[in-house]
Protein backbone atom coordinates (compact mmCIF):
# COMPACT_ATOMS: atom_id res chain seq x y z
CA UNK A 1 0.00 0.00 0.00
CA UNK A 2 3.01 2.29 0.20
CA UNK A 3 2.08 3.47 3.69
CA UNK A 4 4.93 4.82 5.77
CA UNK A 5 5.84 2.86 8.88
CA UNK A 6 8.40 3.51 11.55
CA UNK A 7 10.92 0.74 12.10
CA UNK A 8 9.56 -2.09 14.29
CA UNK A 9 11.99 -1.25 17.07
CA UNK A 10 10.68 2.28 17.54
CA UNK A 11 8.31 3.03 20.39
CA UNK A 12 5.39 4.28 18.29
CA UNK A 13 5.54 1.88 15.36
CA UNK A 14 2.45 -0.01 16.51
CA UNK A 15 0.63 2.71 18.44
CA UNK A 16 -3.15 2.66 18.06
CA UNK A 17 -3.28 6.06 16.35
CA UNK A 18 -0.54 5.08 13.88
CA UNK A 19 -2.41 1.91 12.92
CA UNK A 20 -5.70 3.80 12.64
CA UNK A 21 -4.06 6.38 10.39
CA UNK A 22 -3.13 3.53 8.08
CA UNK A 23 -6.72 2.25 8.18
CA UNK A 24 -7.91 5.71 7.18
CA UNK A 25 -5.54 5.79 4.20
CA UNK A 26 -6.62 2.34 3.10
CA UNK A 27 -10.35 3.13 3.35
CA UNK A 28 -10.54 6.76 2.28
CA UNK A 29 -12.98 5.83 -0.48
CA UNK A 30 -15.56 4.62 2.07
CA UNK A 31 -14.85 6.71 5.18
CA UNK A 32 -16.84 9.91 4.87
CA UNK A 33 -14.70 11.96 7.28
CA UNK A 34 -11.68 12.90 5.20
CA UNK A 35 -9.85 15.29 7.52
CA UNK A 36 -7.06 13.33 9.15
CA UNK A 37 -6.99 15.35 12.36
CA UNK A 38 -10.66 14.48 12.94
CA UNK A 39 -10.84 10.98 11.50
CA UNK A 40 -7.80 9.39 13.16
CA UNK A 41 -8.81 10.21 16.78
CA UNK A 42 -12.35 8.95 16.12
CA UNK A 43 -11.10 5.78 14.46
CA UNK A 44 -8.77 5.28 17.40
CA UNK A 45 -11.73 5.44 19.78
CA UNK A 46 -13.84 3.15 17.58
CA UNK A 47 -11.18 0.48 17.10
CA UNK A 48 -10.07 0.66 20.73
CA UNK A 49 -13.65 0.25 21.94
CA UNK A 50 -14.24 -2.63 19.50
CA UNK A 51 -11.22 -4.55 20.75
CA UNK A 52 -12.14 -3.94 24.39
CA UNK A 53 -15.80 -4.91 24.00
CA UNK A 54 -14.92 -7.97 21.92
CA UNK A 55 -12.55 -9.14 24.62
CA UNK A 56 -15.40 -8.92 27.15
CA UNK A 57 -18.43 -10.02 25.13
CA UNK A 58 -17.17 -11.30 21.79
CA UNK A 59 -17.37 -9.38 18.52
CA UNK A 60 -20.50 -11.20 17.37
CA UNK A 61 -22.38 -10.28 20.56
CA UNK A 62 -21.20 -6.67 20.65
CA UNK A 63 -23.88 -4.27 19.36
CA UNK A 64 -23.33 -1.02 17.53
CA UNK A 65 -25.19 0.74 20.31
CA UNK A 66 -22.67 -0.58 22.82
CA UNK A 67 -19.86 0.48 20.51
CA UNK A 68 -21.30 3.97 20.16
CA UNK A 69 -21.55 4.35 23.91
CA UNK A 70 -18.05 3.01 24.55
CA UNK A 71 -16.45 5.15 21.83
CA UNK A 72 -18.33 8.33 22.72
CA UNK A 73 -19.76 8.68 19.22
CA UNK A 74 -23.36 8.66 18.07
CA UNK A 75 -24.76 5.85 15.94
CA UNK A 76 -24.73 8.24 13.01
CA UNK A 77 -21.13 9.08 13.81
CA UNK A 78 -20.16 5.42 13.61
CA UNK A 79 -21.75 5.09 10.18
CA UNK A 80 -19.50 7.82 8.79
CA UNK A 81 -16.59 5.40 9.28
CA UNK A 82 -18.11 2.04 8.36
CA UNK A 83 -21.44 0.83 7.02
CA UNK A 84 -21.65 -2.48 8.90
CA UNK A 85 -19.93 -4.71 11.44
CA UNK A 86 -18.40 -6.87 8.67
CA UNK A 87 -16.78 -3.73 7.24
CA UNK A 88 -15.40 -2.83 10.66
CA UNK A 89 -14.12 -6.38 11.02
CA UNK A 90 -12.46 -6.15 7.60
CA UNK A 91 -10.71 -2.94 8.65
CA UNK A 92 -9.21 -4.59 11.72
CA UNK A 93 -8.20 -7.83 9.98
CA UNK A 94 -6.78 -5.89 7.06
CA UNK A 95 -4.54 -3.78 9.26
CA UNK A 96 -3.20 -6.77 11.19
CA UNK A 97 -2.53 -8.67 7.95
CA UNK A 98 -0.80 -5.70 6.30
CA UNK A 99 1.31 -5.02 9.39
CA UNK A 100 2.45 -8.61 9.84
CA UNK A 101 3.30 -9.00 6.15
CA UNK A 102 5.13 -5.68 5.96
CA UNK A 103 7.17 -6.20 9.13
CA UNK A 104 8.10 -9.87 8.72
CA UNK A 105 9.02 -9.39 5.06
CA UNK A 106 11.45 -6.57 5.89
CA UNK A 107 14.37 -8.10 7.81
CA UNK A 108 17.64 -6.16 8.03
CA UNK A 109 20.03 -6.86 5.15
CA UNK A 110 22.63 -8.52 7.38
CA UNK A 111 20.02 -10.91 8.77
CA UNK A 112 18.73 -12.17 5.42
CA UNK A 113 22.03 -13.84 4.55
CA UNK A 114 22.11 -16.08 7.64
CA UNK A 115 19.18 -18.49 8.05
CA UNK A 116 19.72 -18.99 11.77
CA UNK A 117 19.90 -15.24 12.47
CA UNK A 118 16.89 -14.72 10.21
CA UNK A 119 14.83 -17.31 12.09
CA UNK A 120 15.76 -15.77 15.44
CA UNK A 121 14.87 -12.34 14.04
CA UNK A 122 11.42 -13.59 13.01
CA UNK A 123 10.82 -15.08 16.46
CA UNK A 124 11.88 -11.92 18.29
CA UNK A 125 10.12 -9.55 15.91
CA UNK A 126 6.84 -11.46 15.92
CA UNK A 127 6.75 -11.72 19.71
CA UNK A 128 7.55 -8.01 20.17
CA UNK A 129 5.02 -7.00 17.52
CA UNK A 130 2.30 -9.11 19.15
CA UNK A 131 3.18 -7.58 22.53
CA UNK A 132 2.74 -4.08 21.13
CA UNK A 133 -0.47 -5.07 19.30
CA UNK A 134 -1.79 -7.62 21.75
CA UNK A 135 -5.50 -6.57 21.61
CA UNK A 136 -5.40 -6.75 17.80
CA UNK A 137 -3.72 -10.18 17.74
CA UNK A 138 -5.94 -11.63 20.46
CA UNK A 139 -9.01 -10.35 18.60
CA UNK A 140 -7.98 -12.08 15.37
CA UNK A 141 -7.12 -15.35 17.14
CA UNK A 142 -10.00 -15.63 19.60
CA UNK A 143 -12.78 -14.30 17.38
CA UNK A 144 -11.91 -16.18 14.18
CA UNK A 145 -14.34 -19.04 14.86
CA UNK A 146 -17.29 -16.64 14.83
CA UNK A 147 -16.23 -14.57 11.81
CA UNK A 148 -18.38 -14.67 8.67
CA UNK A 149 -16.96 -17.14 6.08
CA UNK A 150 -14.99 -14.55 4.07
CA UNK A 151 -13.37 -13.01 7.13
CA UNK A 152 -12.70 -16.43 8.66
CA UNK A 153 -10.87 -17.42 5.49
CA UNK A 154 -8.89 -14.21 5.66
CA UNK A 155 -7.82 -14.99 9.23
CA UNK A 156 -6.70 -18.46 8.12
CA UNK A 157 -4.73 -16.94 5.25
CA UNK A 158 -2.97 -14.61 7.71
CA UNK A 159 -1.74 -17.59 9.71
CA UNK A 160 -0.67 -19.44 6.56
CA UNK A 161 1.21 -16.35 5.40
CA UNK A 162 3.30 -16.28 8.58
CA UNK A 163 4.01 -20.00 8.28
CA UNK A 164 5.16 -19.50 4.67
CA UNK A 165 7.57 -16.77 5.75
CA UNK A 166 9.01 -19.09 8.41
CA UNK A 167 9.13 -21.99 5.94
CA UNK A 168 11.08 -19.87 3.48
CA UNK A 169 13.80 -19.26 6.06
CA UNK A 170 13.83 -22.94 7.03
CA UNK A 171 14.32 -23.91 3.38
CA UNK A 172 17.23 -21.50 3.16
CA UNK A 173 18.77 -23.08 6.24
CA UNK A 174 18.32 -26.62 4.91
CA UNK A 175 19.93 -25.64 1.61
CA UNK A 176 22.96 -24.20 3.41
CA UNK A 177 23.24 -27.12 5.84
CA UNK A 178 22.45 -25.00 8.90
CA UNK A 179 19.15 -26.81 9.52
CA UNK A 180 18.31 -30.50 9.28
CA UNK A 181 14.55 -30.77 8.67
CA UNK A 182 12.64 -33.48 6.83
CA UNK A 183 9.32 -31.57 6.67
CA UNK A 184 9.76 -27.83 6.32
CA UNK A 185 6.08 -26.91 6.09
CA UNK A 186 5.17 -28.99 9.12
CA UNK A 187 8.06 -27.54 11.12
CA UNK A 188 6.95 -24.00 10.28
CA UNK A 189 3.41 -24.84 11.42
CA UNK A 190 4.80 -26.11 14.73
CA UNK A 191 6.83 -22.94 15.32
CA UNK A 192 3.84 -20.64 14.74
CA UNK A 193 1.93 -21.71 17.91
CA UNK A 194 5.01 -20.90 19.99
CA UNK A 195 4.74 -17.32 18.74
CA UNK A 196 0.98 -17.23 19.32
CA UNK A 197 1.26 -18.49 22.88
CA UNK A 198 2.87 -15.25 24.04
CA UNK A 199 -0.21 -13.14 23.28
CA UNK A 200 -2.94 -15.76 23.69
CA UNK A 201 -1.76 -16.87 27.14
CA UNK A 202 -0.17 -13.61 28.21
CA UNK A 203 -1.71 -13.79 31.71
CA UNK A 204 -0.02 -17.14 32.35
CA UNK A 205 3.42 -15.74 31.61
CA UNK A 206 2.69 -12.62 33.63
CA UNK A 207 1.82 -14.74 36.67
CA UNK A 208 5.03 -16.68 36.26
CA UNK A 209 7.08 -13.52 35.96
CA UNK A 210 8.30 -14.47 32.48
CA UNK A 211 9.69 -11.42 30.71
CA UNK A 212 9.37 -10.92 26.99
CA UNK A 213 13.15 -11.22 26.59
CA UNK A 214 13.17 -14.50 28.52
CA UNK A 215 10.36 -15.84 26.35
CA UNK A 216 12.11 -14.86 23.12
CA UNK A 217 15.37 -16.45 24.31
CA UNK A 218 13.66 -19.68 25.37
CA UNK A 219 11.68 -20.06 22.16
CA UNK A 220 14.83 -19.38 20.15
CA UNK A 221 16.76 -22.05 22.05
CA UNK A 222 13.88 -24.53 21.73
CA UNK A 223 13.61 -24.00 17.98
CA UNK A 224 17.40 -24.17 17.58
CA UNK A 225 17.47 -27.59 19.19
CA UNK A 226 14.63 -28.78 16.95
CA UNK A 227 16.04 -27.64 13.58
CA UNK A 228 19.83 -27.68 14.04
CA UNK A 229 21.88 -29.74 11.58
CA UNK A 230 23.23 -32.99 12.99
CA UNK A 231 25.76 -35.63 11.89
CA UNK A 232 24.42 -38.16 9.44
CA UNK A 233 23.10 -41.36 11.09
CA UNK A 234 25.82 -43.98 11.46
CA UNK A 235 28.65 -41.48 11.08
CA UNK A 236 30.75 -40.66 14.11
CA UNK A 237 30.69 -37.02 15.10
CA UNK A 238 34.02 -35.27 14.69
CA UNK A 239 35.31 -32.05 16.11
CA UNK A 240 33.95 -30.18 13.12
CA UNK A 241 30.60 -32.04 13.11
CA UNK A 242 29.53 -33.09 9.63
CA UNK A 243 26.10 -31.66 8.99
CA UNK A 244 23.40 -33.51 7.13
CA UNK A 245 21.64 -31.97 4.17
CA UNK A 246 18.28 -33.75 3.96
CA UNK A 247 15.85 -32.89 1.21
CA UNK A 248 13.27 -30.30 2.25
CA UNK A 249 9.62 -31.16 1.69
CA UNK A 250 7.61 -27.90 1.41
d(CA 213, CA 8): 16
Number of domains the chain contains:
2
Give residue 67's domain range.
1-106
In this predicted structure, what is the pLDDT of residue 239?
38
| pTM for the predicted model, two decimal places | 0.84
Q: Which of 79, 106, 133 is the last residue of a domain?
A: 106
User: Could you tell me if 114 and 226 lie in one domain?
Assistant: yes
pLDDT digits (tens, 9 = 90+) for 206-249: 999 999 999 999 999 999 999 986 544 444 333 334 344 333 33
- Tell me, what's the pLDDT at 145? 80
Res 230: pLDDT? 53
Residues of the chain with pLDDT under 70: 1-11, 229-250
Same domain, 183 and 244: yes
pLDDT number for residue 142? 84
Residue where one domain finishes, among candidates 50, 83, 106: 106
- Are 92 and 156 part of one and the same domain? no
Are residue 122 and residue 204 in the same domain, yes or no?
Answer: yes
Answer for the pair 68, 81: CB distance below 8 angstroms, yes or no.
no
Q: Are residues 119 and 78 in the same domain?
A: no
Asked whether residue 171 falls in the same domain as residue 205, the answer is: yes
Q: What is the pLDDT of residues 176-217, one digit of tens each?
A: 999 999 999 999 999 999 999 999 999 999 999 999 999 999
Same structural domain, 224 and 165: yes
Regarding whether 144 and 89 lie in a shared domain, the answer is no
The reply to whether 87 and 148 lie within a common domain is: no
Same domain, 130 and 217: yes
Last residue of one domain, picked from the residues 64, 80, 106:
106
Asked if 191 and 130 sit in the same domain, the reply is yes
For the chain, give the number of residues. 250
Q: How far, in Å, are 36, 70, 113, 181, 193 from residue 230 at the CA level?
A: 55, 56, 21, 10, 25
121 and 228 assigned to the same domain: yes
pLDDT of 121 reads 97
The reported pLDDT for the residue numbered 149 is: 86
**Is there a contact between 181 and 187 (Cβ–Cβ < 8 Å)?**
yes
CATH number at residue 221: 1.10.357
Q: Rounded to 5, what percent of the chain is helix, strand, coil?
A: 65, 0, 30
Amino acid sequence: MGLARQRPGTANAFAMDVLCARILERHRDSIRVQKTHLAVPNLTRIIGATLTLSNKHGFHATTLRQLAEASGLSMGGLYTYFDSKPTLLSMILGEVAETVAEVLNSPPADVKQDARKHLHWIIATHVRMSEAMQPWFVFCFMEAKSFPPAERQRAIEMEVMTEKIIAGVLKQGVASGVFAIDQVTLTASLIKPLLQDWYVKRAKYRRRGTSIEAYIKSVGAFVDAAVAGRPRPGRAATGSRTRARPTAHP
